[in-house]
């Protein structure tokens, strides 16, 4: 494993020799991160307002899962074309148009009254989720390769918009009702669109150019490494999105908490899962994408194993008669585990994209679009499966049981394709070296 980690880490030049980052690059990074935070806040809107909507429409868990996941579906499907258009036309124009297109749908959400209204409008609101595939290549190209992991990590910290949603939306719901939330969010999105256009910049040197065809940009998608990165990202990002959407109602149902308290505790997962992505980018630059991702998967595996255990009353027949013991996580231990899980997923989201910037420096837009699509589809499928499992079993922690199984798949795949393969190659090189050192007879 150590050999693979060393091989995957790019050689860093001394600080004095590193290429200076212009002030314009930092400005672009700051305004892009702000725009992505707002987009993610809007994308996760149903995680809070879905609770009063569910009560008003009398939805079951599966219907609720589909409601919260619908914006994630469209936000995922548009990621590949958005990434390619960013390579061709530039991130400034693509991001501005994308945010502007979501404003009418966000506003109209306030006037929806039937389930299908929310589903249809949610599909258009979900376009905001495609902003990740725009900003990632847009921001990365403003920085030298040795700083790209850190830059993409800072931009990816816009995932903390999920936590911002949990701070803002419950207060509005309690004070004015859920219908005011889309109106406030539409105004915020419109203001952010104008601010982004005014403060961002473009550089023609960052464009792929008209000579690169659509097919040329997609050629590298045949690389089996891309499928592996898609699997990793479906956990660290798709799982993050799914759990963020599911957690408020989980706290309300499992621990009978008020929606404001539930949202605050749910933010203990969402906030580090977004903000600490920058730290994950720095760690990936320093130790390599493989090492960080490998440890992230193990931490997720341990946390999900503990979170999977349902609330249980165990009765034992003792010599003094039956004795009942309660086994289960209280709200404090549950939140602590969610906090650790959020940190691990933050690091993992950054490390997966460090793989991409290392392996595909000239095609970040298209590759990040495909990997982002896989992660987004995970964020769409998982909430629906969470709801279906809860309707089927009646066990809320079945959501974590499902995630635990998915992480197992990634650990096994990663071991055989990266860890084990590196050990085999290292052994072959050692045998070759020993043969070369043998004296001639």
Which tens digits make up the pLDDT trace of 218-252?
A: 566 677 788 888 889 999 989 998 998 899 999 99
pLDDT digits (tens, 9 = 90+) for 325-357: 888 899 999 999 999 999 999 899 888 888 887
Residue ranges per structural domain of the chain: 23-207+220-315+323-435
Query: What are the CA-CA distances from residue 218 to residues 89, 93, 366 (Å)?
Result: 16, 22, 7
* Long-range contacts of the stretch 118-121 (C-beta < 8 A, 24+): 118/46, 118/53, 118/67, 118/70, 119/66, 119/67, 119/70
Average pLDDT, the chain: 84
CATH superfamily placement of domain 23-207+220-315+323-435: MFS general substrate transporter like domains (1.20.1250.20)
| Whether 4 contacts 290, CB under 8 Å | yes
Per-residue pLDDT band at 13 (split at 50, 70, 90): very low
Q: Check residues 358 and 342 and name the one with the higher pLDDT.
A: 342
Residue 368's nearest CA partner among 84, 125, 129, 147 is: 84
pLDDT score recorded for residue 220? 61
Per-residue pLDDT band at 391 (split at 50, 70, 90): very high
* DSSP character string of 64-123: HHHHHHHHHHHHHHTHHHHHHHHHHH-HHHHHHHHHHHHHHHHHHGGG--SHHHHHHHHH
Q: Check residues 100 and 366 and name the one with the higher pLDDT.
A: 100
Residue 412's H or E segment, with its range, is helix 398-414
Give φ, ψ of 317 to 5 degrees: -90, 105
Which SS3 state, helix, strand or coil, does residue 153 take? helix
pLDDT digits (tens, 9 = 90+) for 109-145: 999 999 999 999 999 999 998 898 888 888 888 888 7
Residue 234's nearest CA partner among 133, 358, 373, 131 is: 373
Per-residue pLDDT band at 89 (split at 50, 70, 90): confident
86: left (phi over 0), alpha (psi -120 to 50) or beta: alpha
pTM (two decimals): 0.77
Average pLDDT over residues 294-301: 93
Largest CA distance in the chain: 91
């Amino acid at each position: 494993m150590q050999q693979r980690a060393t091989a995957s880490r790019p050689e860093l030049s001394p600080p004095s020799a590193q290429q200076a980052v212009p002030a314009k690059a930092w400005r672009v990074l700051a305004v892009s991160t702000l725009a992505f935070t707002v987009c993610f806040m809007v994308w996760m809107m149903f995680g809070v307002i879905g609770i009063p909507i569910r009560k008003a429409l009398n939805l079951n868990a599966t219907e609720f899962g589909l409601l919260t996941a619908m914006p994630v579906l469209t936000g995922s499907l548009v990621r590949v074309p958005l990434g390619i258009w960013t390579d061709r036309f530039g991130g400034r124009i693509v991001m501005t148009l994308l945010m502007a297109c979501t404003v009418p749908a966000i506003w109209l959400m306030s006037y929806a009254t039937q389930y299908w209204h929310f589903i249809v409008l949610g599909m258009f609101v979900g376009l905001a989720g495609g902003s990740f595939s725009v900003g990632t290549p847009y921001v990365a190209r403003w920085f030298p390769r040795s700083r790209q992991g850190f830059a993409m990590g800072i931009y990816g910290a816009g995932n903390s918009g999920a936590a911002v949603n949990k701070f803002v939306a419950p207060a509005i719901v309690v004070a004015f009702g859920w219908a005011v939330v889309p109106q406030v969010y539409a105004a915020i999105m419109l203001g952010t669109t104008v601010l982004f256009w005014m403060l961002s910049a473009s550089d023609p040197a960052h464009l792929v150019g008209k000579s690169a065809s659509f097919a040329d940009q997609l050629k590298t998608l045949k690389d089996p490494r891309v499928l592996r990165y898609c699997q990793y990202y479906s956990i660290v990002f798709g799982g993050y999105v799914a759990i963020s959407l599911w957690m408020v109602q989980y706290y309300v149902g499992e621990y009978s908490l008020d929606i404001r308290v539930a949202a605050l505790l749910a933010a203990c997962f969402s906030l580090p899962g977004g903000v600490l992505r920058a730290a994950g980018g720095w760690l990936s630059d320093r130790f390599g994408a493989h090492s960080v991702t490998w440890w992230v998967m193990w931490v997720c595996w341990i946390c999900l194993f503990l979170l999977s255990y349902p609330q249980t009353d165990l009765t034992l027949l003792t010599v003094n008669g039956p004795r009942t013991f309660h086994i289960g996580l209280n709200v404090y231990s549950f939140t602590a585990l969610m906090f650790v899980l959020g940190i691990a997923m933050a690091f993992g989201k950054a490390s997966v994209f460090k793989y991409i910037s290392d392996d595909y420096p000239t095609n970040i837009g298209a590759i990040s679009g495909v990997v982002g699509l896989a992660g987004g589809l995970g964020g769409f499928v998982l909430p629906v499966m969470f709801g279906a499992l809860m309707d089927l079993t009646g066990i809320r922690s079945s959501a974590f049981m499902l995630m635990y199984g998915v992480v197992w798949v990634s650990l096994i795949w990663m071991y055989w394709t990266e860890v084990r393969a590196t050990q085999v190659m290292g052994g072959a090189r050692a045998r070759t070296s020993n043969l070369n050192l043998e004296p001639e007879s």
